Amino acid sequence: MMADRVRMDAYEKAISQVVKEGDVVVDLGCGLGILSFLALKAGAKKVYAVEKTDSINLAREIAKRNGIDDKIVFIEGVSKDIEIPEKADVIVSETLGSFAVEENTLEFTIDARKRFLKEDGRLIPEALKLWLAPVENSGVYKKFSFWNDVAGFDFSFAKEELTKRILIEDISKKDFLSNPLIYNGIDLVETDNPSINERLKFEFSKSGTLHGFAGWFQALLTDDVVIDTSPSSQKTHWKQAFFPIKEPVHVKKGGYVIIDMKVLPKPVPAGYKQGTETLDHTIISYDYFCSQSEEDASLKNKISRNDPCQCGSGKKYKKCCGV
């Protein structure tokens, strides 16, 4: 990640704009400490660097060797379990996955903003915009066909499990079967909701084979500093998120696919104790329904507008997908 120039240049520019001389900064999920160091370079008088993994030991030693350890308070632990003795002027974090929110970014950011940040404090990033598009990419999907037969054994159950997980892939614009749509826009300064539940309807702009959905994000670090991980932007270590479907579907131009996607924090396990490594994962689940695929091209003509919609919404067809 530190070799990703898009990431590093954007964060360095944003921190230099936002952090002022004498500011107190919280670095949420500091890793090896580079954002903490950039905050000090920008003029911060003190940084609280929070990290739950043992990489904090490396960060501490690096700070010492650079002669800046006296200005950084390293705190090992889950941010929701810790306290700091003063309010911060700025909270900076880079707990972003390939779909931005799958590292429980929303829950951690909301909690830290409420407990650590001054009323007039600043967040980096300030907002997120999440995008989705249905895609055809047989190369990515071939990774799943491997599980059908492994040395003569049926590993299809592994395939079932893996299709519930996000892959990190390079997706091209030519893979799009439809124009991308915004899944959700999130104002991190204002939101109190760590969950997202949205439905999108995509109309196919060409015929092809649907293998899954590509996802990416735009992160607004400041008013004029944006990280964009779309397939048409400069490549980053995030690449794109790929949400596979269980079986490929041959689709026709003019048809459509509906996706219902939920993003929510992973439930706290029974017996959870402060200080344990948990609460850093997000559940992303999705259901989808295709109409006008090659297999059911005549479906639209068979459904009355007053019939229940085939997508399972419970609404009449004319009030839902028949719009």
Residue type at position 119: E
Q: Per residue, what are the HEC states of 142-174?
A: HHHHHHHCECCECCHHHHHHHCCCCEEECCCHH
CA separation for the pair 237, 64 (Å, rounded): 28
The set of residues, in sequence order, having a beta carbon less than 8 Å from that of 208 and lying 6+ positions away, is: 136, 177, 250, 251
Instruction: Report CA 3 to chain centroid distance, whole Å.
Output: 20
The set of residues, in sequence order, having a beta carbon less than 8 Å from that of 268 and lying 6+ positions away, is: 278, 279
Catalytic residues: 94, 103
Start-end of H helices in 51-129: 55-65, 105-116
Torsion region of 262: left, alpha or beta (phi above 0 gives left; psi -120 to 50 gives alpha) = beta
Long-range CB contact pairs, 266-274, < 8 A, 24+: 266/104, 274/77, 274/78, 274/81
Q: Strand pairing of 225-228 and 88-93?
A: unpaired
Do 69 and 63 meet the contact criterion of CB atoms below 8 Å apart? yes
Cβ atoms within 10 Å, residue 312: 12
